[in-house]
Amino acid sequence: MADNPEPSGPEQIQAALTGGVPLGRWKEGLMFDGINPTPGLKSASNWFPRSEAVGSDEMRITFMGSAPFIRPGQMNTSILIELGNGDKLVFDIGEGSVANYVSAGHALNELDKIFITHLHVDHYGALPYLYMFGGWAGRWHKKLRVFGPSGRTPEFGTAHMVEGMKQMLTWHRDAFSVFPVGQGHDVDVTEFDFRDNGGVIYDENGVKVIHWQRSHAKDGASAYRLEWNGLSVVWTGDGRPSLLDAEFAAGADVYITEVQPELVAISSGVQGVPPFLGRYTIDTHHTPGYAAGYLAKRANPRLFMTTHMPFDPYINEETVAEVRQHWKGPFHFGAPDGIVVNVTKEDIWVREGVLPDFPNSRAPQFDFDDGQLVVPEPPTSRAEIQEPFVREQEIPPADYYPEGYHPELLQEWPVDGDLVIPLEMMPPQMLQGMGAAWTERQAYKKHISELSADE
Ligand SMILES: [Zn+2]
Ligand SMILES: [Zn+2]
């Protein structure tokens, strides 16, 4: 080859690079029209935990659970919405989803705002775990907040479920009271009137969440729409397609619905569910694929997604075919687990997250606005909740520790009252780990104040 070949003509270059579309990219397909990577992605092909901050004008949606039937690769439904202002909001918290939150690099004490669409256990099964272990793992200075619908009578409401959960956890709560607790065992329940369609249930820090009723065989099933910074996302929870969905999901940037394809006979062969039971379940509870596409057409989002679906090839292809009867715009599955969606006003991009099987958990995250870390004194002690006999049967440590190695055991709370550590006395590594989210939020606040100073 010559050292400096002649450049091709500008028109030829244009044609080669854009497929002939003037100033555009290749124009093709139905699924991804209007879909581009957002700025700040480290890789446009995959998402890797702890590799990217959410941009200050960006929203990131991650599917932490995507199926009503739990199985490896598909935990029960849960959707995390992270905002550029540092907020993290959890929509449904199905069984097993905590594994994906940990794998995606979230500390359990950061997950303190949980919105539950309805009280089928595939939508909140991980709540008891998150409540207890999130409290243990540093949710000492804020209550766990749970938002959910009322029922037709009080015993069918979210507050009653939480009371029942606490009761179920009576032993566990007392047992974990030998650890720092603070507010870790408190739950702040916002139970809204399920009939109050369009009602605002959350309005903080520029984030607004409204709800509406879903027809899901029993009163109390709800859908949510979150609005922040001119961006919106809808998660319907479960239910039959309804006029309310078309109304409240209209114009959303991302519209996520549950779906059931019309495959009862095939599914019955594959899964062993008698066809009539599948048919009856769909027709009383769920959104058929055709209806999902129909609703998308009416709501006209920038990106339409289906989740709460078994991610199986024979189902996926049929689901697309059914959705495509009505919806010709951008479409992607919110399944399997680990699908990540970045959203800005200009761009939307979907990636598969690479979630490790054996992740280490993120350090608990704290706000260090007061310049210190306060570790609350445990409410109780072993001596208070355990009879001495079984402690006295413990083998003396000197019998099993090797010669020359005998750690100083820490069996009593080491200080009078709370343990208070000023930041300047904290080992830098510890501060870096536990203050990562706080540092990001400080940067966001700085960014916002700079923006307003520019105006
Ligand atoms: Zn469900
Ligand atoms: Zn349900």
Distance 111 CA to ligand 1 centre (A): 21
Closest ligand to C-alpha of residue 77 is 1
Q: Residue 187 — φ and ψ, nearest 5°? A: -125, 130
Residue type, 188: D
Tell whether 8 is covered by a domain.
Answer: no
Q: How far is the CA of 119 from the centre of ligand 1 (A)?
A: 9
For residue 284, give the ligand nearest its CA: 2
Task: Please give the single-letter amino acid code of residue 114.
Answer: I
- Residues around ligand 1, an ion, CB closer than 5 A: 68, 120, 122, 238
User: Same domain for 288 and 377?
Assistant: no
Residue 93 shares a structural domain with residue 200 = yes
Ligand 2 centroid distance, CA of 118 (Å): 7
Q: How far is the CA of 41 from the centre of ligand 2 (A)?
A: 35
Q: Which domain holds residue 148?
A: 46-353
- Spacing, Cα 118 to ligand 1 middle (Å): 8
Same domain, yes or no: 317 and 385: no
How many separate domains does the chain show? 2
Q: Give me the CATH number covering residue 283.
A: 3.60.15.10
Residues 341 and 391 both lie in one domain: no
C-alpha of residue 114 to centroid of ligand 2, in Å: 17
Q: For tokens 């929509």, what's the residue?
A: 91
Distance 323 CA to ligand 2 centre (A): 21
Closest ligand to Cα 92:
1
Alpha helices in 58-187 (DSSP H): 97-103, 127-136, 158-168, 170-175
Query: Residue 43 half-sphere exposure, CB side, CA atoms within 13 Å?
Result: 12
Q: Which ligand is nearest to the CA of 123?
A: 1
CA of 393 to the centre of ligand 2 (A): 49
Give residue 438 CA to ligand 2 midpoint distance, Å.
36
On whether residue 34 sits in a domain, the answer given is: no
At residue 447's C-alpha, the angle toward residues 442 and 449, to 5°, is: 95
Tokens coding 165: 């959960």
Report if residue 15 sits inside a domain: no
- Tokens matching residue 144: 């766990």
Per-residue pLDDT at 26: 61
Residues 368, 113: contact at Cβ < 8 Å?
no
Distance 64 CA to ligand 1 centre (A): 14
| CA separation for the pair 156, 165 (Å, rounded) | 13
Give the pLDDT score at 27.
62
Do 383 and 242 share a domain, yes or no?
no
Of 75, 50, 72, residue with least CA distance to 60: 50
pLDDT of residue 32: 74
In a domain, 437, yes or no: yes
**Cα 238 to averaged position of ligand 2 atoms, centre (Å):** 5
* Ligand 2: centre distance to CA 44 (Å): 34
At residue 285, the pLDDT reads: 97
- pTM for this entry: 0.94
Question: Domain check: are 291 and 434 in the same one?
Answer: no
What is the Rg, in whole angstroms, of the alpha carbon atoms belonging to the chain? Answer: 25
Low-confidence residues of the chain, pLDDT below 50? none
Residue 146 CA to its chain's centroid (Å)? 14
pLDDT at 84: 95
One domain for residues 120 and 183: yes
Question: Exposed, middle or buried, 90 (CB in 10 Å: 0-12/13-18/19+)?
Answer: buried
Kindly report, residue by residue over 321-348, the tens digit of the pLDDT: 999 999 999 999 999 999 999 999 999 9
Contact 371, 422 (CB under 8 A): yes
